[in-house]
Amino acid sequence: MRLYLCEKPSQGKDIARVLGANQRGTGCYNGAGVTVTWCIGHLVEAASPEAYGEHLKRWSLNQLPIIPDTWRIVVKANTALQYKVVKQLLAQATELVIATDADREGEMIARELLELCRYKGAIQRLWLSALNDASIRKALATLRPANETVLLYHSALARSRADWLIGMNLSRLFTLLGRQAGHDGVLSVGRVQTPTLRLVVDRDRDIAQFISVPYWVIDVELSLQGQPFRAQWTPPTEATDEAGHCTQQVVAQSALHRIQTTQEAKVICVDTETFREAPPLPFDLSTLQVVCSRRFGLDVQDTLDIAQSLYETHKATTYPRSDSEYLPESMFAEVSMVMNSLLATDPSLQPLISAADWTQRSRAWNDSKVSAHHGIIPTLEPFRLEALSENERAVYELIRGHYLAQFFPHHEFDRTNALLACGHESLRATGKQIIVSGWHRVLGNAPDVSDEESGKRSHVLPAVVPDTCCSVQQAEMTALKTLPPKSFTQGELIKAMKGVAKLVIDPRLKQKLKDTTGIGTEATRANIINSLLKRGYQVKKGRSVRASETAFTLIDAVPAAIADPGTTAIWEQALDMIETGEMTLDEFITKQAHWITQLVEHYRTSTLPIRIPDGPTCPLCGATMRQRSGKNGLFWSCSRYPECKGTLPVEAKTRSSSSSRKPRRSNPRGTER
């Protein structure tokens, strides 16, 4: 009997339908010589420390570090029934097809089960990028040998064990040290979550310490042969800050007076440059989450859930947890099928699809840029568009738009810069004239689909040439202030996690990180942010996420290397090396265990520099309250507990006192009118 092992029941149902396995059994579908079963995510998990000894139930510094000699996995209690089903079917199978998600985690979900159940039969791998019938049939016809993907399992296992070593040892270590310093809650430390939290803490401190600086701008309305246009005053360098802002009011006022009294500006030079913008690439998951956060205000988990629904439930788009924006060159042969599917799904696309050049091969088709997955695009088969919710449709149309954009010309425009002299003052006027709308016909002028020019309206200058004189119609001075950096939204935090190289100072490390995935992976980043929210380390403030008081305490307490975004990015690089065979699982875990042992020994006798938050007054008895950690995160609990059971929710506080950084006086990127 050939057994197909899927990751989720919905996948099992889709694959069973194509295989003709239509007889429903307990936790499976049966057909002629074929059975399809499934996991429910992970059916097994890494054993907790107490599984290695009853004495480890009690947290103690003397027991650390905990380094298993032989790693154990146990069956998850809430999915034990399905585990029994899979185990029985594996015992009956003569050959197995792994049909879990085509990624590192999917490989681990299947292979851990096979090891625990001691399956020794033949194994093949089904590699699916979409769950529509055509894609399933194509994948079934091209099953891969199991040895082609086994290193994915080793990489996932390395990630899991490294997370266990860091989480179990360092969470216990710093929680116990925290208790010695008077902190009652758990200080949870994670390989990915702690550096992610560091990003938010640093941003919040930058905001708290920012000192706003006033500056002045002058806008000038000019006219040439009756055609109005606008120019901006260019202040002298001796009166500007590093961002080019005029910080001396008296200089600006003098310039305004001279411009108003001169009443004429002469064109000194004109420079026009033509730009061609290629269509934006199809989405990877992170980019999709960033855009949906910015445009629709969706949480990153909401975007992932919607993308998963478009993939699994509606069969509308391909595999969502992709880390690539590119497409295999072989998929260019499927363009006509995708286009016809789009038209059958939504006939209103007829004008766009008719205008598209189906033979145009954009930069998106590039085998060298495709990893295990390709960009997220529409599937080969129509579906019921009306079945989508409002948010599902919005996300689907973004994905569809980025695919359609590949078949439209480049967006072309001229940018003109004119330098003018008004008395002794310099003015600059900028114009933009669109030559070819190109792919903007599909995606419009939304700022998130192109560079900074995309969101700007076309502003055409008159026919200015050197030595032309323009009349000054009006000049106005405006007082502005530099603004602090903005708090992270979830989408911007995802972007920062992915682009962590930009935040690393060491030039050698920065270069090494430029082509890596950053903090976490496409499949885990949303979960990391959710975990920080649930544990009370982050709180939502509108669309933003802010660090809680305990977050500052934690980041100040843990070793710099643990909280350094560059460190976890290097770990991700090591996991990629395991995946490609450049490093073994055992080598990686041995290095991790040695490093954990060194950290424990170094900090075992340390005193943490913890500032205990000032608690509110208990509403029941008036005693001081303390922060505690519960199943739903942090909360205030009466210090007289259990005699008094008063509680209050934790409100986020931004601390600046625990940072040793000097105040920032301005922020060139954070300046707005």
**What is the domain-level CATH number for residue 401?**
1.10.290.10
Reported confidence tier of residue 656, pLDDT bands at 50, 70, 90: very low
**Which one is predicted more confidently, 454 or 201?**
201
Reported confidence tier of residue 637, pLDDT bands at 50, 70, 90: confident
Write down which residue in 558, 577, 603 finishes a domain.
Answer: 603
Whether residue 320 is found in the same domain as residue 248: no
Q: Does residue 528 fall inside a structural domain?
A: yes
The answer to whether 629 and 535 have CB atoms below 8 angstroms apart is: yes
CA distance 528 to 196: 8
Quote the pLDDT of residue 335: 96
Whether residue 324 is found in the same domain as residue 259: no
Residue 610 has pLDDT above 80, yes or no: no
Domain count, the chain: 4
What mean pLDDT is predicted for residues 500-527? 73
Residue 451 has pLDDT above 70, yes or no: no
Nearest residue to 664 (alpha-carbon basis) of 241, 200, 246, 208: 208
Whether residue 28 is found in the same domain as residue 140: yes
Reported confidence tier of residue 514, pLDDT bands at 50, 70, 90: low
What mean pLDDT is predicted for residues 426-434? 94
Q: Does residue 199 fall inside a structural domain?
A: yes
The answer to whether 194 and 528 have CB atoms below 8 angstroms apart is: no
Question: What would the DSSP string read from start to end of 314-370?
Answer: S--B--S------B-GGGGGGHHHHHHHHHHH-GGGHHHHHHS-TT---TTB-GGG-
- Percent of the chain beyond pLDDT 70? 91
Residue 162 has pLDDT above 60, yes or no: yes
Q: Does residue 17 fall inside a structural domain?
A: yes
Whether residue 388 is found in the same domain as residue 422: no
Quote the pLDDT of residue 654: 37
Whether residue 272 is found in the same domain as residue 415: yes
**What is the domain-level CATH number for residue 128?**
3.40.50.140
Whether residue 112 is found in the same domain as residue 169: no
**What is the domain-level CATH number for residue 268?**
2.70.20.10
What mean pLDDT is predicted for residues 523-542? 90
Quote the pLDDT of residue 176: 92
The answer to whether 211 and 247 have CB atoms below 8 angstroms apart is: no
Quote the pLDDT of residue 455: 38
CA distance 266 to 256: 16
Q: Does residue 673 fall inside a structural domain?
A: no
**Which one is predicted more confidently, 456 or 582?**
582
Quote the pLDDT of residue 671: 38
Reported confidence tier of residue 613, pLDDT bands at 50, 70, 90: low
CA distance 113 to 280: 41
Reported confidence tier of residue 517, pLDDT bands at 50, 70, 90: low
Domain membership of residue 250 as a residue range: 214-277+411-481
**Which one is predicted more confidently, 96 or 324?**
96
Which of 83, 311, 319, 603 does the annotation list as catalytic? 319
What mean pLDDT is predicted for residues 227-245? 94
**What is the domain-level CATH number for residue 571?**
1.10.460.10
Quote the pLDDT of residue 333: 92
Whether residue 268 is found in the same domain as residue 294: no
Write down which residue in 421, 452, 481 finishes a domain.
Answer: 481
467: left (phi over 0), alpha (psi -120 to 50) or beta: left
Q: Does residue 651 fall inside a structural domain?
A: no
Q: Is 319 a catalytic residue?
A: yes
Q: pLDDT digits over 408-422, tens only?
A: 999 999 999 999 999
Question: What would the DSSP string read from start to end of 264-330?
Answer: EEEEEEEEEEEEEEPPPPPB-HHHHHHHHHHHH---HHHHHHHHHHHHHTS--B--S------B-GG
Nearest residue to 39 (alpha-carbon basis) of 93, 71, 76, 73: 76
The residues with which 411 forms a beta bridge, in sequence order, are: 277
Residue 11 has pLDDT above 60, yes or no: yes
Element counts in the chain: helices (H) and strands (E): 20, 20
Q: Does residue 627 fall inside a structural domain?
A: no
Write down which residue in 556, 582, 603 finishes a domain.
Answer: 603
Quote the pLDDT of residue 658: 39
Whether residue 244 is found in the same domain as residue 197: no
Q: pLDDT digits over 140-156, tens only?
A: 999 999 999 999 999 99
Whether residue 379 is found in the same domain as residue 513: no
Quote the pLDDT of residue 88: 96
Q: Does residue 521 fall inside a structural domain?
A: yes
Q: pLDDT digits over 74-124, tens only?
A: 999 999 999 999 999 999 999 999 999 888 889 999 999 999 999 999 999
Whether residue 393 is found in the same domain as residue 461: no
Quote the pLDDT of residue 590: 96
Q: Considering all CA atoms of the chain, what is the largest pairwise distance in Å, rounded to the nearest integer?
A: 95
Whether residue 223 is found in the same domain as residue 340: no
What letters, b where the CB count within 10 A reaches 16 and e where it falls short, cover 649-666? ebebbbbeeebeeeebeb
Q: Does residue 590 fall inside a structural domain?
A: yes
CA distance 555 to 193: 11
Q: Which two tokens stand for residue 360?
A: 């145009």
Whether residue 515 is found in the same domain as residue 439: no
| Model confidence pTM above 0.85 | no
